[in-house]
Amino acid sequence: MLRLRSERFIENLPRRGAFVRALTLDDLSDLYDVVTAVEVMAVGLIAEASDRAEIVAELSRLCDKMEAALEDPELWTHSDEAFHRALLEFSGNAPLAQTGLLHRDLAQRAHFVADRARPKGTERKSVETHRALVDLIAAGDAEAARANHLKQRQRGSESLLAAIRALGLRSL
């Protein structure tokens, strides 16, 4: 319970017990900022790695899964999540991956709600953007890969927060 509280998953209320903590839009914005920073670092580390061929193959496979799921929003969201988790896991930096995965876990419920509310067609553009990132990683262009992913993460965060606002939600 202490760990869950320290990781901001739950909140203890005196004489009332422990509850799953609601995330405000400000909380989500902060979480997305952390996830963005960590993922951008992970992308650079992967692009700089000399043994990235297998990673590139796996990231390409995950893009294929996203593309195959374009007609199924829930499956697409899971496929997109798998891609972003892979970036963290393949970074070669365990503390970085752990931090990123923790913050992705915290934001995940909002991600699944918001993805259902985003305008149709954004998924296809997202797959194209993910494939462009994989191409930059494959080329070993760490600077361009970081810049590409920063731009994509910022756009994605803005889109998700706007979708949540459009639903009239102030917390999740």
pTM: 0.85
The residues, any chain, with a CB within 8 Å of residue 86's CB and separated by 6 or more, are: 58, 59, 62
CATH of domain 24-166: 1.20.120.530
Q: What are 138-166's pLDDT values in tens digits?
A: 999 999 999 999 999 998 888 888 888 88
pLDDT at 104 exceeding the cut of 80: yes
The strand pairing partners of 18, in sequence order, are: 12
Q: What are 52-99's pLDDT values in tens digits?
A: 999 999 999 999 999 999 988 889 889 999 999 999 999 999 999 999
Spans of all domains in the chain: 24-166
